[in-house]
Amino acid sequence: MSRWWYRPTSAAIEPRLRLICFPYAGGWPRVFRPWAARLPADVELVAVRMPGRESRFAERPYTDWPTLAEDAAEALGPLLDVPTVLFGHSFGGMLAYEVARLLNRRGTANLESLVVSGCRSPLVRPPWRAPYDAPSDALWTWLAHIEGTPAEVLADRQLRALTEPTLRADLKLADAWNGEPETVDLPIVTFGGTNDPIVPRQDIESWRNFTARTYRHVEFAGGHFFIHSLEAEVVAEVSMLCQAA
């Protein structure tokens, strides 16, 4: 199952805590690579590598939530030998919750908390839909508008064509997501961007209804992809959470 994991660094010693990160729609696990150098030395970062990206590029992306969540939860099982924090942004927040829900239901030990970033709660149905079925140019124009794609990808038509099938599959899943209204026995922390055109604060804060433990919300002065534009601030907040775990 190691094909599911991306480790930016090799831990010289057994980490005190593991931070498992779930990327946004179309995102590759390497988007979290810069985080590793900013985290406490005893925290190991592992990013989830789903089909359709990096070394799994030839594999078809998932098209249904139950199979994706079950396979991801099973793959991450061996990583839960130490205290673990789950972090997911946007589509990744949906998947992080689905995995946490499955693991929590099974009584899996070592889950410390769930961090859901830039992601609506399952109680919310957005008034807009992701243009996963739009013509290619319209799809990429939308992504450029929400600042969700690096400039080098937007400028490279061949790279866009290669990544588009996975992006469309992820966006379709995100649009269809209507998660189970089930609380988890974990603290939930939510991150939001003050200028996020996709997920306003009220759509995030209803996550408080999904935890049997504590809930906290953190605002960042950015748009939907504040995890990149305000990376230092975001990782500093994650680091404090990890240190407290």
User: According to the model, what pLDDT value does residue 150 have?
Assistant: 64
Q: How many CB atoms lie within 10 A of CB 9?
A: 11
Residue 226 has pLDDT above 60, yes or no: yes
User: Average pLDDT, whole number, for the chain?
Assistant: 91
8 close to 32: Cβ distance less than 8 angstroms:
yes
Residue 10 has pLDDT above 70, yes or no: no
Residue 139 has pLDDT above 80, yes or no: yes
Both structure tokens of 150: 């690096």
What residue type is assigned to position 117 of the chain? S
What residue type is assigned to position 104 of the chain? N
- Sign of the Cα torsion 52, 125, 178, 74 reads positive
Fold for 2-124+180-244, please state it: Rossmann fold (3.40.50)
User: According to the model, what pLDDT value does residue 16 have?
Assistant: 94
Report the pLDDT averaged over residues 178-203. Answer: 91
What digits encode the pLDDT tens for the residues 41-95?
999 999 999 999 888 988 999 999 999 999 999 999 999 999 999 999 999 999 9
Cα(28)–Cα(47) distance, rounded to whole angstroms? 9
Residues 6 or more apart whose Cβ sits within 8 Å of residue 200: 192
> What are the residue boundaries of the structural domains of the chain, listed by start?
2-124+180-244
pTM assigned to the model: 0.94
| 171 or 125, which is more confident | 171
Residue keyed to tokens 């900013």: 38
% helix, strand, coil for the chain, step of 5: 45, 15, 40
Q: Which of 2-11, 38-47, 220-229 has the lowest mean pLDDT?
A: 2-11
Residue 168 in 3-state DSSP? helix
